[in-house]
A and B are shown apart, each in its own frame.
Chain A
Amino acid sequence: MSVDFWINVGVLAGIYGIFTLGLQLNAGFTGLLNFGQAGFMAIGAYSVGIFVVSWGLPLWLAFLLAVALAVAAGMLVGISALRLRSHHFAIATIGFAEIVRYTLQNAEFSGGNQGLIGFDDDWRSVNEWALSKLASVELDAYTQLPLLLAIWATFLVLLVTMELLQRTPWARVLRGIREDEDATAALGKNTFSYKLQSLGIAAALAAIAGFFVSLNITYLYPTVFDPTFTFFGYAILVLGGLGSYTGVALGSIIFWVLLEGTRLMETSLSAGQQSSLRFVIVGLSLILLSRLRPQGILGNRNELRAEP
């Protein structure tokens, strides 16, 4: 039981790691408070489901289309809301995530509250194949292990890519915008275009995370993409530190070990009380961290000027 439990923690940490890379790019490196990340994740996951179930597309093609669709949604949100400054933009993005959730909950194409099922056959066959390989090292009893490996391989590739991108003149413009958008525009940079690019990449990362969510739960329903999940991402960001992609990986692992690990506590509390206690523990850890190390574990104090 225990190994499967921790494999699942690893799956969640990887998914939310990918999810939070986008928030790091937006909030940490561009100064954009994107609170709609869960909405992009939902678009990614649901598009995969709909393209496979209703359109009969292969899973991998559906995945690519889903990412493209999430980017398009990011552009749409960006074009309409990016001219708003900081907090106003944040509120607009929360609104967007809510629109996505209510649409999915009520529309026919998304299966409404009943959700979507039966889109992951292609993945199941890959999973079977991977398990047969893992049989040679006697690890085939852990059925979620292939997913864990796929997620973390993807996460690490994306993390390195984002890290490399961060060292380019392109990313320097983003950091300029984070510090002072007007001053950066005065130096000849089209700041709107850069903010749009930042948001588009974050939406793509959210869609990739959403794809893995769909493979993990094999059944899509609207409450999986509650907009509050964006704040799991921000909790991870604050834990790991603003301005560090490696911090995202570390923050995600710590966050999920804390949140899931506390399930294993032996207490005399009722199930409901205990599940509330888990969030209390995570909250207290964040408060403690903000006292002891306000820039986060790997955050850079000098770059902490960005909100939040």
Chain B
Amino acid sequence: MSAPTPILEVRDAVKHFDGLRAVAGASFDVARGSITALIGPNGAGKTTMLDLLSGFARLDAGAIRLANRSIAGMAPHQIARLGLVRTFQLTRVLAGISVLDNMLLAAPRQPGEHIPSLLASPRLARQREARARLAAEELLETFGLRLKAADYAGSLSGGERKLLEIARALMTESSIVLLDEPMAGVSPRLGRSILDRIAILRQERGTTFLFVEHDMDAVMSRADKVVVMAQGRVIATGTPAEIRADSMVVEAYLGGLAGERVP
């Protein structure tokens, strides 16, 4: 018996930016229900990889398959509807609307978002809205933002914005969530608690997580699998223990640069 199909398959992905090869033939899989870390030194192509996976950058060559379906060339919203959601390295909360509206905006399958179906069945839209509100309040509770629900997202602190962006991503009920440096810019304690909550949600919902992170302690303790990128290529994949024992990784990345963080 072969292993079940991975939720995400990246094959020989290439992305150039004006002659710079940001991603130069990278291949890796993300297993369904796993917490996979994507690590590598600055400029390794990690964020470009997330952009490729979420449709914010277009693949020059290679293939990306999400749940057995090619997503190369799709727009971000199309990929999101197939069940892949991402967060951004610099948090992007919608500052001018409330925390609750940030969450409700992420609710899937809301017929009230389309004028024809809104007019055809206003009741269904209201029912979905009420259900989404419950789900949103539960997630806000999990992330400690319940009391801020009515506040404008622009009034949140940096750490709270990070939490809101992750909670909002989870609100989409996506099967895979990409997190770009979920611990950056927040205190180490909050960062660890974010990862704790992710581990719990993976247990409860079976959501797959792929996260880019520089904090090696966090990566090694929380990830099931680690993908190491350097100079646009995947140089190693394996369990945290295997990665730590890999001399090439240690040389390319962990060695002198261990514990490096982007300011």
A, B: real partners? yes
A residues touching B (Cβ–Cβ < 8 Å)? 168-170, 172-173, 175-176, 178-180, 182-191, 197, 302-306
Residues of B within 8 A of A302 (CB): 96, 152, 154-155
Residues of B within 8 A of A176 (CB): 94, 97, 105
Residues of B within 8 A of A175 (CB): 94, 96-97, 101
The reply to whether the CB of B13 lies closer than 8 angstroms to some CB of chain A is: no
Which of A169, A187, A189, A304 touches B112 (beta carbons < 8 Å)? A169
Determine how close the nearest CB of chain B comes to the CB of A166; give it in whole angstroms: 12
Contact A184 B94, beta carbon cutoff 8 Å: yes
Q: Given the interface contacts A168-B112, A173-B113, does A188 sit within 8 Å of B97 by beta carbon? A: no
Docked pose: A162 CA to B125 CA in angstroms = 18
Contact A189 B77, beta carbon cutoff 8 Å: yes
Docked pose: A172 CA to B113 CA in angstroms = 8
Determine how close the nearest CB of chain B comes to the CB of A186; give it in whole angstroms: 6
Question: What are 30 of the A-B contact pairs (CB < 8 Å)?
Answer: A168-B125, A169-B113, A169-B118, A170-B113, A170-B115, A170-B118, A172-B113, A173-B105, A173-B113, A176-B94, A176-B97, A178-B96, A179-B96, A182-B88, A183-B94, A184-B105, A185-B75, A185-B76, A185-B77, A186-B56, A186-B85, A186-B88, A187-B168, A188-B77, A188-B81, A188-B108, A189-B105, A302-B155, A304-B96, A305-B154
Interface centre among A173, A183, A186 (most CB of B within 10 A): A186
Determine how close the nearest CB of chain A comes to the CB of B55; give it in whole angstroms: 8
- Number of B residues, CB within 8 Å of A: 34
Which 7 pairs across A and B sit closest by C-beta, in order of nearness?
Answer: A169-B112, A188-B80, A179-B94, A183-B92, A185-B76, A302-B152, A305-B96
Interface centre among B75, B88, B105 (most CB of A within 10 A): B105
Closest partner residue, chain B, to A242 (CB atom): B96
Which B residues from 84 to 103 make CB contacts under 8 A with A?
Answer: 85-86, 88, 92-97, 101
